[in-house]
Amino acid sequence: MTGIQASVSRYEDWLRTRIGADFVEADLQAKHRKMRGDAFAFLRATYWRWAETILGLCPGLADAAPVLAIGDIHLENFGTWRDDEGRLVWGVNDFDEAAVMPWPLDLVRLAASALLARGKEGPAAQEICAPILEGFEAGLASPAPIILEREWKWLRQAVLLPESERAAFWAKFDALRPSPPPPAHEKALLEALPPGHATPIFAPRTAGTGSLGRPRFVARAEWRGGPVLRESKALVPSGWCLAQAPADSTIRADAVATGRFRAPDPHYRLMEGSIITRRLSPNSRKIEVRNAAAELLSPEMLRAMGQEIANCQAGDAARWPGVREDLRTRPKGWLHQAAKAAAQAVEREQKEFAGT
Protein backbone atom coordinates (compact mmCIF):
# COMPACT_ATOMS: atom_id res chain seq x y z
CA MET A 1 0.00 0.00 0.00
CA THR A 2 1.37 3.41 -0.96
CA GLY A 3 1.75 6.20 1.60
CA ILE A 4 -0.80 8.97 2.00
CA GLN A 5 1.17 11.63 0.12
CA ALA A 6 1.57 9.39 -2.93
CA SER A 7 -2.08 8.35 -2.73
CA VAL A 8 -3.23 11.98 -2.68
CA SER A 9 -1.09 12.86 -5.68
CA ARG A 10 -2.24 9.84 -7.65
CA TYR A 11 -5.92 10.51 -6.97
CA GLU A 12 -5.70 14.20 -7.82
CA ASP A 13 -3.93 13.39 -11.09
CA TRP A 14 -6.71 10.92 -11.91
CA LEU A 15 -9.34 13.53 -11.04
CA ARG A 16 -7.70 16.15 -13.24
CA THR A 17 -7.71 13.72 -16.14
CA ARG A 18 -11.31 12.72 -15.50
CA ILE A 19 -12.66 16.28 -15.16
CA GLY A 20 -10.47 17.82 -17.85
CA ALA A 21 -10.42 21.56 -18.48
CA ASP A 22 -13.20 22.21 -15.93
CA PHE A 23 -11.12 20.94 -13.01
CA VAL A 24 -11.01 23.62 -10.27
CA GLU A 25 -7.34 23.75 -9.38
CA ALA A 26 -7.82 26.53 -6.82
CA ASP A 27 -10.05 24.23 -4.75
CA LEU A 28 -7.13 21.98 -3.90
CA GLN A 29 -5.50 24.56 -1.66
CA ALA A 30 -8.70 24.80 0.38
CA LYS A 31 -9.04 21.03 0.42
CA HIS A 32 -5.47 20.46 1.62
CA ARG A 33 -5.92 23.12 4.28
CA LYS A 34 -8.98 21.30 5.60
CA MET A 35 -7.14 17.99 5.49
CA ARG A 36 -4.32 19.41 7.59
CA GLY A 37 -6.79 20.92 10.06
CA ASP A 38 -8.26 17.85 11.74
CA ALA A 39 -8.94 14.16 11.28
CA PHE A 40 -12.71 14.52 10.73
CA ALA A 41 -12.19 16.86 7.77
CA PHE A 42 -9.43 14.55 6.52
CA LEU A 43 -11.87 11.62 6.53
CA ARG A 44 -14.42 13.66 4.57
CA ALA A 45 -11.81 14.72 2.01
CA THR A 46 -10.30 11.31 1.27
CA TYR A 47 -12.98 8.75 0.51
CA TRP A 48 -10.85 7.14 -2.18
CA ARG A 49 -8.19 6.48 0.50
CA TRP A 50 -10.81 4.88 2.74
CA ALA A 51 -11.70 2.60 -0.17
CA GLU A 52 -8.03 1.70 -0.63
CA THR A 53 -7.37 0.85 3.00
CA ILE A 54 -10.52 -0.20 4.88
CA LEU A 55 -10.52 -3.90 3.97
CA GLY A 56 -6.89 -4.17 5.06
CA LEU A 57 -7.75 -2.52 8.36
CA CYS A 58 -10.89 -4.63 8.86
CA PRO A 59 -10.28 -7.89 6.96
CA GLY A 60 -13.18 -9.58 8.73
CA LEU A 61 -15.59 -7.38 6.75
CA ALA A 62 -14.25 -8.22 3.31
CA ASP A 63 -16.52 -11.24 2.83
CA ALA A 64 -19.68 -9.56 4.18
CA ALA A 65 -22.69 -9.57 1.89
CA PRO A 66 -22.41 -6.91 -0.84
CA VAL A 67 -25.09 -4.26 -1.29
CA LEU A 68 -25.52 -0.99 -3.15
CA ALA A 69 -24.35 1.33 -0.39
CA ILE A 70 -23.80 5.04 0.25
CA GLY A 71 -20.01 4.82 0.50
CA ASP A 72 -19.00 8.28 1.70
CA ILE A 73 -21.22 8.44 4.76
CA HIS A 74 -20.35 10.60 7.77
CA LEU A 75 -22.02 12.83 10.37
CA GLU A 76 -22.44 15.73 7.94
CA ASN A 77 -23.98 13.70 5.13
CA PHE A 78 -27.53 14.14 6.41
CA GLY A 79 -29.99 16.91 5.76
CA THR A 80 -33.53 17.90 4.86
CA TRP A 81 -35.56 18.37 1.69
CA ARG A 82 -39.17 18.53 0.50
CA ASP A 83 -40.51 15.48 -1.30
CA ASP A 84 -43.09 15.32 -4.12
CA GLU A 85 -45.88 15.86 -1.60
CA GLY A 86 -44.19 18.88 -0.02
CA ARG A 87 -43.41 16.93 3.15
CA LEU A 88 -40.25 17.76 5.09
CA VAL A 89 -37.93 14.73 4.93
CA TRP A 90 -34.64 14.05 6.71
CA GLY A 91 -31.94 11.65 5.60
CA VAL A 92 -28.78 11.13 3.59
CA ASN A 93 -28.43 13.87 0.98
CA ASP A 94 -25.18 13.08 -0.85
CA PHE A 95 -24.56 9.90 -2.82
CA ASP A 96 -21.51 10.85 -4.91
CA GLU A 97 -19.58 7.72 -3.89
CA ALA A 98 -22.38 5.15 -4.02
CA ALA A 99 -21.20 1.69 -5.12
CA VAL A 100 -21.67 -2.01 -4.45
CA MET A 101 -19.56 -2.97 -1.43
CA PRO A 102 -19.73 -5.03 1.80
CA TRP A 103 -22.78 -3.76 3.71
CA PRO A 104 -21.07 -3.07 7.08
CA LEU A 105 -18.80 -0.38 5.63
CA ASP A 106 -21.46 2.34 5.75
CA LEU A 107 -21.93 1.71 9.48
CA VAL A 108 -18.18 1.57 10.13
CA ARG A 109 -17.55 4.84 8.32
CA LEU A 110 -20.38 6.65 10.09
CA ALA A 111 -19.16 5.41 13.47
CA ALA A 112 -15.55 6.30 12.65
CA SER A 113 -16.60 9.82 11.66
CA ALA A 114 -18.38 10.22 15.00
CA LEU A 115 -15.29 9.02 16.88
CA LEU A 116 -13.19 11.58 15.02
CA ALA A 117 -15.66 14.42 15.62
CA ARG A 118 -16.44 13.80 19.29
CA GLY A 119 -13.46 15.64 20.84
CA LYS A 120 -12.02 14.90 24.26
CA GLU A 121 -15.30 15.41 26.09
CA GLY A 122 -17.45 13.42 23.70
CA PRO A 123 -19.20 10.10 24.22
CA ALA A 124 -17.30 6.83 24.52
CA ALA A 125 -16.88 4.64 21.47
CA GLN A 126 -19.48 2.14 22.62
CA GLU A 127 -21.95 4.95 23.29
CA ILE A 128 -21.56 5.93 19.65
CA CYS A 129 -21.62 2.49 18.06
CA ALA A 130 -24.51 1.00 20.03
CA PRO A 131 -27.23 3.45 18.88
CA ILE A 132 -25.98 3.37 15.27
CA LEU A 133 -26.34 -0.41 15.22
CA GLU A 134 -29.68 -0.24 17.03
CA GLY A 135 -31.00 2.16 14.41
CA PHE A 136 -29.73 0.00 11.58
CA GLU A 137 -31.41 -3.06 13.07
CA ALA A 138 -34.68 -1.12 13.40
CA GLY A 139 -34.42 -0.08 9.77
CA LEU A 140 -33.57 -3.63 8.81
CA ALA A 141 -36.79 -4.85 10.42
CA SER A 142 -38.99 -2.10 8.97
CA PRO A 143 -37.32 0.27 6.47
CA ALA A 144 -39.21 3.51 5.85
CA PRO A 145 -38.34 7.12 5.00
CA ILE A 146 -38.03 9.58 7.87
CA ILE A 147 -40.87 12.05 7.37
CA LEU A 148 -40.94 14.97 9.79
CA GLU A 149 -44.55 16.09 9.37
CA ARG A 150 -46.13 14.26 12.36
CA GLU A 151 -43.57 11.91 13.88
CA TRP A 152 -39.95 12.66 14.81
CA LYS A 153 -40.82 15.89 16.65
CA TRP A 154 -37.39 16.13 18.28
CA LEU A 155 -35.66 15.78 14.90
CA ARG A 156 -37.95 18.37 13.28
CA GLN A 157 -37.07 20.84 16.01
CA ALA A 158 -33.36 20.13 15.53
CA VAL A 159 -33.31 20.80 11.79
CA LEU A 160 -35.67 23.74 11.31
CA LEU A 161 -33.74 26.89 10.45
CA PRO A 162 -34.19 30.01 12.64
CA GLU A 163 -35.01 33.28 10.88
CA SER A 164 -31.50 34.72 11.32
CA GLU A 165 -29.94 31.74 9.58
CA ARG A 166 -32.59 31.86 6.85
CA ALA A 167 -31.54 35.43 6.01
CA ALA A 168 -27.86 34.42 6.09
CA PHE A 169 -28.59 31.58 3.68
CA TRP A 170 -29.83 33.95 0.98
CA ALA A 171 -27.10 36.52 1.69
CA LYS A 172 -24.46 33.88 1.06
CA PHE A 173 -25.71 33.26 -2.45
CA ASP A 174 -26.25 36.96 -3.15
CA ALA A 175 -22.52 37.42 -2.54
CA LEU A 176 -21.41 34.95 -5.22
CA ARG A 177 -19.67 36.49 -8.23
CA PRO A 178 -21.58 35.80 -11.47
CA SER A 179 -19.73 33.80 -14.11
CA PRO A 180 -20.95 31.66 -17.02
CA PRO A 181 -20.77 27.91 -16.38
CA PRO A 182 -19.52 25.33 -18.89
CA PRO A 183 -22.20 24.48 -21.48
CA ALA A 184 -23.11 21.12 -19.92
CA HIS A 185 -23.69 22.72 -16.51
CA GLU A 186 -25.69 25.59 -18.00
CA LYS A 187 -27.92 23.12 -19.85
CA ALA A 188 -28.43 21.02 -16.72
CA LEU A 189 -29.25 24.04 -14.56
CA LEU A 190 -31.71 25.47 -17.07
CA GLU A 191 -33.50 22.12 -17.23
CA ALA A 192 -33.60 21.97 -13.42
CA LEU A 193 -35.20 25.41 -12.96
CA PRO A 194 -39.02 25.63 -12.93
CA PRO A 195 -40.77 26.56 -16.19
CA GLY A 196 -41.43 30.27 -16.56
CA HIS A 197 -38.48 31.44 -14.48
CA ALA A 198 -36.84 34.81 -15.13
CA THR A 199 -33.39 35.07 -16.65
CA PRO A 200 -31.06 33.24 -14.23
CA ILE A 201 -27.77 34.43 -12.80
CA PHE A 202 -25.05 31.75 -12.85
CA ALA A 203 -22.11 31.60 -10.46
CA PRO A 204 -19.46 29.07 -9.43
CA ARG A 205 -19.73 27.82 -5.87
CA THR A 206 -17.19 26.30 -3.50
CA ALA A 207 -18.70 23.86 -1.01
CA GLY A 208 -18.13 20.49 0.56
CA THR A 209 -14.80 18.83 1.24
CA GLY A 210 -14.42 15.58 -0.67
CA SER A 211 -15.85 17.09 -3.86
CA LEU A 212 -13.44 20.04 -3.98
CA GLY A 213 -11.79 20.19 -7.38
CA ARG A 214 -14.94 19.21 -9.22
CA PRO A 215 -16.87 22.08 -10.82
CA ARG A 216 -19.98 23.22 -8.96
CA PHE A 217 -22.32 26.00 -10.11
CA VAL A 218 -25.55 27.61 -8.98
CA ALA A 219 -28.33 29.30 -10.92
CA ARG A 220 -30.51 31.87 -9.16
CA ALA A 221 -33.70 33.11 -10.77
CA GLU A 222 -36.91 34.84 -9.81
CA TRP A 223 -40.02 32.71 -10.13
CA ARG A 224 -43.57 33.61 -9.15
CA GLY A 225 -42.72 36.24 -6.59
CA GLY A 226 -39.50 34.96 -5.07
CA PRO A 227 -36.01 33.53 -5.66
CA VAL A 228 -35.24 29.93 -6.56
CA LEU A 229 -31.85 28.23 -6.55
CA ARG A 230 -30.47 25.19 -8.34
CA GLU A 231 -27.01 23.68 -8.01
CA SER A 232 -25.04 21.53 -10.43
CA LYS A 233 -22.06 19.38 -9.44
CA ALA A 234 -19.85 17.17 -11.59
CA LEU A 235 -19.75 13.50 -10.65
CA VAL A 236 -17.00 10.96 -11.24
CA PRO A 237 -16.98 7.19 -10.63
CA SER A 238 -16.95 6.23 -6.97
CA GLY A 239 -13.64 6.03 -5.18
CA TRP A 240 -14.71 2.53 -4.18
CA CYS A 241 -14.78 1.41 -7.79
CA LEU A 242 -11.50 3.18 -8.47
CA ALA A 243 -9.83 1.19 -5.69
CA GLN A 244 -11.72 -2.11 -5.75
CA ALA A 245 -13.38 -2.46 -9.18
CA PRO A 246 -11.54 -0.22 -11.68
CA ALA A 247 -13.42 -1.65 -14.66
CA ASP A 248 -16.71 -0.36 -13.19
CA SER A 249 -17.32 3.33 -13.98
CA THR A 250 -21.08 3.33 -13.35
CA ILE A 251 -22.40 6.35 -11.43
CA ARG A 252 -25.06 5.09 -9.00
CA ALA A 253 -25.92 8.24 -7.04
CA ASP A 254 -29.48 8.49 -8.31
CA ALA A 255 -30.12 4.75 -7.86
CA VAL A 256 -29.62 5.00 -4.08
CA ALA A 257 -31.23 8.44 -3.73
CA THR A 258 -34.47 7.25 -5.30
CA GLY A 259 -34.60 3.87 -3.55
CA ARG A 260 -37.89 2.17 -2.68
CA PHE A 261 -37.68 3.02 1.05
CA ARG A 262 -36.93 6.72 0.63
CA ALA A 263 -39.07 9.80 -0.03
CA PRO A 264 -36.61 11.31 -2.49
CA ASP A 265 -35.96 14.93 -3.30
CA PRO A 266 -37.64 15.36 -6.72
CA HIS A 267 -35.04 17.98 -7.62
CA TYR A 268 -32.09 15.64 -7.08
CA ARG A 269 -31.42 14.45 -10.63
CA LEU A 270 -28.62 12.93 -12.65
CA MET A 271 -28.23 15.06 -15.77
CA GLU A 272 -25.98 14.73 -18.79
CA GLY A 273 -24.76 11.40 -17.42
CA SER A 274 -22.31 12.89 -14.93
CA ILE A 275 -23.87 16.05 -13.43
CA ILE A 276 -26.11 16.06 -10.38
CA THR A 277 -28.55 18.92 -9.94
CA ARG A 278 -30.53 19.72 -6.84
CA ARG A 279 -32.62 22.48 -5.32
CA LEU A 280 -31.02 24.68 -2.67
CA SER A 281 -33.21 26.36 -0.08
CA PRO A 282 -33.35 26.93 3.68
CA ASN A 283 -35.40 23.72 3.82
CA SER A 284 -32.84 21.76 1.77
CA ARG A 285 -29.74 21.77 3.92
CA LYS A 286 -27.45 19.74 6.16
CA ILE A 287 -26.36 20.10 9.78
CA GLU A 288 -22.65 20.69 10.34
CA VAL A 289 -20.52 19.42 13.22
CA ARG A 290 -19.07 22.84 13.98
CA ASN A 291 -22.55 24.21 14.66
CA ALA A 292 -24.23 21.24 16.33
CA ALA A 293 -21.73 18.60 17.49
CA ALA A 294 -23.73 17.69 20.58
CA GLU A 295 -26.92 17.19 18.55
CA LEU A 296 -25.19 15.08 15.91
CA LEU A 297 -23.57 12.87 18.55
CA SER A 298 -26.69 12.35 20.65
CA PRO A 299 -27.96 8.75 20.90
CA GLU A 300 -31.25 9.74 19.24
CA MET A 301 -29.52 11.28 16.23
CA LEU A 302 -27.05 8.40 15.84
CA ARG A 303 -29.92 5.94 16.02
CA ALA A 304 -31.76 7.85 13.29
CA MET A 305 -28.62 7.87 11.15
CA GLY A 306 -28.24 4.11 11.49
CA GLN A 307 -31.89 3.66 10.53
CA GLU A 308 -31.46 5.86 7.45
CA ILE A 309 -28.47 3.80 6.30
CA ALA A 310 -30.77 0.76 6.39
CA ASN A 311 -33.39 2.69 4.41
CA CYS A 312 -30.81 3.43 1.72
CA GLN A 313 -29.32 -0.06 1.52
CA ALA A 314 -32.75 -1.70 1.53
CA GLY A 315 -33.40 -0.14 -1.86
CA ASP A 316 -31.17 -2.86 -3.34
CA ALA A 317 -33.91 -5.48 -3.37
CA ALA A 318 -31.84 -8.24 -4.93
CA ARG A 319 -28.97 -8.04 -2.42
CA TRP A 320 -30.80 -6.89 0.72
CA PRO A 321 -31.73 -10.40 1.97
CA GLY A 322 -28.02 -11.23 2.15
CA VAL A 323 -27.51 -8.32 4.55
CA ARG A 324 -30.17 -9.68 6.88
CA GLU A 325 -28.50 -13.08 6.98
CA ASP A 326 -24.99 -11.69 7.32
CA LEU A 327 -25.83 -9.43 10.26
CA ARG A 328 -26.77 -12.48 12.32
CA THR A 329 -23.24 -13.86 11.92
CA ARG A 330 -21.41 -10.77 13.17
CA PRO A 331 -19.67 -11.28 16.55
CA LYS A 332 -20.48 -9.05 19.51
CA GLY A 333 -18.56 -5.76 19.40
CA TRP A 334 -17.69 -5.98 15.69
CA LEU A 335 -18.76 -2.41 14.88
CA HIS A 336 -16.98 -0.96 17.89
CA GLN A 337 -13.72 -2.71 16.99
CA ALA A 338 -13.86 -1.87 13.29
CA ALA A 339 -14.73 1.80 13.86
CA LYS A 340 -11.90 2.27 16.35
CA ALA A 341 -9.37 0.67 13.98
CA ALA A 342 -10.57 2.84 11.10
CA ALA A 343 -10.57 6.06 13.13
CA GLN A 344 -7.08 5.43 14.48
CA ALA A 345 -5.77 4.82 10.96
CA VAL A 346 -7.32 8.09 9.75
CA GLU A 347 -5.75 9.96 12.66
CA ARG A 348 -2.32 8.53 11.83
CA GLU A 349 -2.56 9.45 8.15
CA GLN A 350 -3.91 12.90 8.90
CA LYS A 351 -0.94 13.62 11.14
CA GLU A 352 1.41 12.32 8.47
CA PHE A 353 -0.22 14.50 5.81
CA ALA A 354 -0.14 17.55 8.08
CA GLY A 355 3.49 16.92 8.96
CA THR A 356 2.82 16.72 12.70
Long-range contact set of residues 199-203: C-beta below 8 Å, sequence gap at least 24: 202/178, 203/173, 203/176, 203/177, 203/178, 203/179
pLDDT value of position 339: 97
pLDDT value of position 158: 83
pLDDT value of position 272: 81
Considering the entire predicted model, what is its pTM? 0.94
Give per-residue pLDDT as tens, 63-78. Answer: 999 999 999 999 999 9
Closest CA relative to residue 237, chosen from 4, 1, 20, 19 = 19
**Taken in order 239, 241, 247, 250, is the CA torsion positive or negative?**
negative
pLDDT value of position 295: 83
pLDDT value of position 285: 64
pLDDT value of position 292: 67
- Say if CB 88 and CB 282 are below 8 A apart: no
pLDDT value of position 117: 92
Positions in the chain whose pLDDT score sits under 50: none
Give per-residue pLDDT as tens, 146-157. Answer: 999 888 999 888
pLDDT value of position 294: 79
Strands laid side by side in the 226-234 sheet: 201-204, 216-223, 226-234, 275-280, 269-271
